Chain A
Amino acid sequence: MSALGIALAAAAQAAAAKSAAKPEFARVATLAVEADWKPVAALVADVDGDGVSEVVLACCARGKSAARRLEIWRAAAGSYARAKTIELTSDVVAIATGDVLAGNGAEVLAFHGGGAFALAPLAGEARAERIVECDFLWQVPDPETVHVWQDGVLDLDLDGLDDLVLPEPGGFLLCVQRRPRQAGAFGLASRLRVPEEADSGGVWVSATRREGPAVRGRRQRLSYTLELSQGAEETLGSRPAILAQASESVSSPHFSDWDADGDLDLVLQTSHHLHAFTQERGTFAAAAAHSLELPVAVDTARRLDASYSSHAVDLDLDRRADCVIFAGDKRSEDVRTQGLFFTQAGSKDGPAPFGAQGRPSSLLVFAGFVSGPRFVDLDGDRYPELVLRAVRPDLIDQLRSASSKAIDAELYIYRNRRGVFSRQPDVTWKRTIPLERFQLTAEFCGDLTGDGLSELLARDEPDKLRVMLLRSQGSADKSTWTLFDRPLWEIGIHEDATVEVVPARAGEAKPSVLVIEPTQVLFVRFG
């Protein structure tokens, strides 16, 4: 071990010992639901305005009753206790939290096929108030779950008030909140239509509204499914004809300042174009202000590309959204992935960020397949780092998994130095994970130790959740980063649990974590 390695190991041990001496590093509240109910979703919000977050659980009845309810859990005597239970009506499709009504605290938003209601759950008489009407994309509720649409609550005009993004078939209704209400209206409403494009290559993967549900293919991260509904086996009689069906979709919405005017614009992508709908004082133009041909069209081959993803993110802090595309290199004999970086500042000719020729401003090449790329600021300088996982089929080490039933997964961090990424990963973190039915999940969750660097929340075993320390050595730009193998903190969780990181809200210093297990929810607060 090098001197640097020894120093880093000692630092990690010291940090671990320090955290061990501070049991308050993480406080875990166990929210045990009644035996007849199963938690399916959880949200964190201060719904009573007392400055302390409550936990909103969505639960479904076990058995055949198809009942669903919300449970509001409030801080009490160092832990959490259920304060209220509210039955969910059968039409509710999704929920979120946001401050959308006058008065203290946030409300629970309930979305259904015709719009959204707001509910102050701890008010004396919890009464739903209609907020907006629209053709909400997801119109059919699932009796066994409730989806979370928290991506639909954000401050679009940066005035400190929560606004709403409501996806509709082929478009969006964007509602910018205004207070006080005028004529009972929530605020400014903009209805946008996404330009339709011929999508002939898409029938096999990822449904669009023109592709009926008869042939359904779906690409989701590293897995594919293909379902031919005509192939269903006869059971008790001939399959009856379909009475009613619909298949609707809309591009995923992303909000980023496109034109450096200080507000958020809507950026989205169709099969062949990137569209930007600009905002002007809370109102969005109905038609896209910019429609740019994508340098990597989303054809069938690309939809099947395990490494493919595209991103809108301001890489160089010039307040103009840039575009990054990860795609498998089809011309290479080896399995490798290209990361194509198109910045508005770097575009020399033609409309930014792709320019006339669609040439990237910079390029990174990764060995193997890439999954889960994320852009997140890890060191507080506001420049987003690139974090991704890679699977390298050329690693002969993987063959040892034949005996151990484990496989190596690697996590890479590329530092962003004033808009420029390192050519090689600054941190490579290798984990051995169980091969069967499990994949590494790891997410940088924010600075938990106060050292200015974000910590990694990792689940490298199905029943363990760990916080790993990211440490900086050296000064400023010449510093090196190390991700320690020894966890700073860990907790045993149910192997079927789902884990959600809850970003720190205004007034909170640190993020929290929700662990949704089959019979309970663990609410982990740091610091």
Chain B
Amino acid sequence: MSMLMLALALQAAAPTETIVLEPNLELACHRVIDLDRDGLCEIVAIGRDGRVRTLHPHAPGRSVGSLALAAPVRSLLAFATYAETTYLVSLSPAGTSAYPVLEGGEISAQAQVWIPRARFALRIESPSLAPIAQDVNLDGLDDIVVPTLNGVELWLASLGTEQRVPAFRKLATLSVEVSRWGSHDAEYLSDSLESSFSIPGLLTRDVNGDGRPDLLVEQGSTRAFHLQREDGSFPLEADVAVDLSIFKDTTEASGFALGGTLSAGDKATCSSRDLDGDAIPDYVIGHRRKVWVFRGTKEGPQFKQPSAILKTAEDITALVVHPLDADALPDLLLVKVQIPTLATLLRGLFGEWDVQMRVLAYSNVGEGRFEGTPSLSNELAVRLPGIIGLAKNPEKVLERFTDVEKEFRASAHGDVDGDGREDVVLITQDKRRVEAWLSREGDGEAERGGQRKLRKLLFDEQNAVWDLDRMATALGDFVQQRAALLTGGRGADRSALLRDPDSVELVSMECAQLGAAGGEEIVLAYQRKGEPHSGWFEVLSFTPETK
């Protein structure tokens, strides 16, 4: 396989160096990673046909490797390091295999079969990098997680002092919420048959404050907690399990009634956050008009002794635990959305109509309790355009929000000038240039929070009316604020032209140390528009005089 490498001066006035790397395969995914642990990153290109090649941007003509995955559309991949050797780990119908990285960053074509029973058989369009190798119990070794339709298999890794290759033992298949979606209608020529699925990873969180991540399992209305032991193991049986369906407010369900409060369904909801500042998460459970608060303990969660029980006059649409007042403790926010009356809906056929919301904030008073009466309250209205007009030209409304989305600028962080400090790289809104802001003394001290933005949004203006203009403006402001936060509001220190966005699409951008000299370089992945299987890389470095 040949590799085309070109050094281009894209802009005479700005002597930015760009290296173009053609992987010569239909690109499915890639990873910029230091494979051979020499402190410099390589680019691993993975083709849709299963070919895996390592590209060295600063070694002209070098593309190494001959690995071709046997089942490319059923392969999940990850990189993991054991005993100072990096492996490309593969889950496929043949089980879990590992391809060791050889000298020079070449990935061996010879697989080591590690766990024959840990198979992945679903079709995923093309080989994909996924977090299948992750240190679940934080013991320093990457464990293997295998997504299946029945849940996620957890295989814990161990490595003896004399061993070079890890051993794995299966802990359990843990339930996760697998999402499935499909369209089967074939009545019209304009119909489309569709199928999608998504399998999430394991939910982990330290729930007893011992610093070790614990396993959380959600299955239907049951929440189960497997606390990690000192030796890094997890018990097969959950230490604590709670069925949320036992939390019932006996007030009669209001149901879906025009003019009534929109209820969050008739299932209890559960939110978790550290309410009392002891670094152990606590739990807030809501059902209809009732809210229970349970404090977590060093023995784990408990759902027997509520620290507080609140009751409201109407059903609750949503329950959020979030800091709203001046102190650091999260407060309780209850949202009630009124279903429009029939008269409002009919009026709304031809003209603007309002959806009324009531928001109530209960201050956290410590020890897992909230004030009995709301400290803040407000009535808000979301003003919507006429239903007929909306149905006739929905794209006009959609454009308002997609236009805002276009203002978001892709960003990356890295030390591009080699001064040891992290800089910020942003793509311009028109996607024609990449700009860099070099870090200076005092950077990073700006307020990066935003925890109180929710309070400002919901409570600062009494009886506020939010129409589409105001929503779009608020989103636009958020975009501008985000860019200002990243750049400190000053002009860019470096700038370089990108490929013409009318003909090519920038797929990804990241910073990485690829060459021995200077700072980190910017790795850009492109594809030609309308050709989803095309793909190549460009490595861009800012020379000191580039402006």
Using a CB–CB cutoff of 8 Å, the interface residues on chain A facing chain B are: 64, 94, 113, 135, 137-142, 147-149, 151, 167, 169, 196-198, 200, 204, 206-210, 213, 216, 218, 220, 224, 229, 233-254, 267-269, 274, 298, 300-301, 304, 306, 308-312, 323, 328, 330, 335, 369, 393, 398-399, 401-402, 405, 435-437
Contact in complex: B391, A306 (CB < 8 Å): yes
Give B318's nearest chain A residue, CB to CB. A233
A312 to B187, CA, bound (A): 10
Contact in complex: A138, B185 (CB < 8 Å): no
Contact in complex: B270, A253 (CB < 8 Å): no
Report if A248-B125 is in contact (Cβ < 8 Å); known contacts: A243-B199, A253-B186: yes
Residues of B within 8 A of A197 (CB): 530
In the complex, B70 has a CB within 8 A of chain A: no
Residues of B within 8 A of A245 (CB): 124, 196-199
Q: Give the residue of B125, B147, B190, B270 whose beta carbon is less than 8 angstroms from that of A236.
A: B270
A196 to B530, CA, bound (A): 9
B226 to chain A, nearest CB (A): 13
Report if A244-B398 is in contact (Cβ < 8 Å); known contacts: A140-B180, A236-B203, A402-B343: no
Residues of A within 8 A of B530 (CB): 197-198
Report if A243-B216 is in contact (Cβ < 8 Å); known contacts: A250-B192, A253-B186: no
Give A197's nearest chain B residue, CB to CB. B530
Contact in complex: A204, B392 (CB < 8 Å): no
A239 to B180, CA, bound (A): 17
Q: Give the residue of A204, A252, A301, A323 whose beta carbon is less than 8 angstroms from that of B186.
A: A252
Contact in complex: A242, B258 (CB < 8 Å): no
Using a CB–CB cutoff of 8 Å, the interface residues on chain B facing chain A are: 76, 120, 122-125, 128, 130-132, 145, 147, 149, 152, 176, 178-205, 216, 218, 220, 223, 256, 258, 269-272, 281, 320, 342-343, 346, 349-350, 388, 391-395, 398, 402, 529-530, 532
A326 to chain B, nearest CB (A): 9
Contact in complex: A140, B122 (CB < 8 Å): yes
Residues of B within 8 A of A369 (CB): 391
Contact in complex: A402, B346 (CB < 8 Å): yes
B262 to chain A, nearest CB (A): 14
Contact in complex: B349, A246 (CB < 8 Å): no
Residues of A within 8 A of B392 (CB): 328, 335
Which 6 residue pairs across A and B have the least CB separation, nearest first?
A: A240-B201, A252-B191, A237-B205, A243-B147, A198-B530, A247-B196
B376 to chain A, nearest CB (A): 21
Can you report 27 A-B residue pairs in the complex whose CB atoms are below 8 A from each other?
A137-B195, A147-B184, A200-B529, A233-B271, A234-B272, A235-B272, A239-B203, A240-B203, A241-B130, A242-B130, A243-B199, A244-B76, A246-B122, A246-B196, A249-B183, A249-B192, A249-B193, A249-B195, A250-B193, A252-B190, A252-B191, A252-B192, A269-B190, A301-B393, A312-B189, A398-B346, A435-B342
Give A268's nearest chain B residue, CB to CB. B189
Contact in complex: B197, A140 (CB < 8 Å): yes
Contact in complex: A243, B76 (CB < 8 Å): yes
What 5 new A-B contacts, CB under 8 Å, besides A169-B195, A245-B196? A140-B122, A147-B184, A148-B184, A236-B203, A248-B123
Residues of A within 8 A of B343 (CB): 402
Contact in complex: A248, B194 (CB < 8 Å): yes
Residues of A within 8 A of B223 (CB): 236
Contact in complex: B186, A151 (CB < 8 Å): yes
Contact in complex: A209, B125 (CB < 8 Å): yes
Report if A237-B190 is in contact (Cβ < 8 Å); known contacts: A242-B201, A247-B196, A301-B395: no
Report if A237-B216 is in contact (Cβ < 8 Å); known contacts: A244-B128, A252-B186, A252-B191: yes
Give A309's nearest chain B residue, CB to CB. B188
Contact in complex: A241, B201 (CB < 8 Å): yes
Give A210's nearest chain B residue, CB to CB. B532
Residues of B within 8 A of A435 (CB): 342
Contact in complex: A248, B181 (CB < 8 Å): no
Contact in complex: B195, A140 (CB < 8 Å): yes
Residues of A within 8 A of B199 (CB): 242-245
Q: Give the residue of B178, B180, B188 whose beta carbon is less than 8 angstroms from that of A252.
A: B188
**Residue from A151, A209, A235, A241 with most neighbouring chain B CB atoms (10 Å):** A235
Give B134's nearest chain A residue, CB to CB. A241
Q: Give the residue of B190, B202, B391 whose beta carbon is less than 8 angstroms from that of A309.
A: B190
Contact in complex: B193, A243 (CB < 8 Å): no
Contact in complex: B388, A248 (CB < 8 Å): no
Residues of B within 8 A of A224 (CB): 394
Residues of B within 8 A of A241 (CB): 130-131, 200-201
Residues of B within 8 A of A309 (CB): 188-190
A243 to B388, CA, bound (A): 42
Contact in complex: B216, A236 (CB < 8 Å): yes
A254 to B194, CA, bound (A): 16
A437 to B220, CA, bound (A): 26
**Residue from B128, B184, B190, B203 with most neighbouring chain A CB atoms (10 Å):** B190
Contact in complex: A208, B192 (CB < 8 Å): yes
Residues of B within 8 A of A254 (CB): 186, 189
Contact in complex: A311, B194 (CB < 8 Å): no
Contact in complex: B198, A213 (CB < 8 Å): yes
Give A204's nearest chain B residue, CB to CB. B398
Give B342's nearest chain A residue, CB to CB. A402
Contact in complex: B200, A243 (CB < 8 Å): yes
A303 to chain B, nearest CB (A): 9
Q: Give the residue of A243, A251, A253, A405 whose beta carbon is less than 8 angstroms from that of B342.
A: A405
A365 to chain B, nearest CB (A): 15
A478 to chain B, nearest CB (A): 33
Give B341's nearest chain A residue, CB to CB. A402
Residues of A within 8 A of B176 (CB): 240
A377 to B256, CA, bound (A): 41
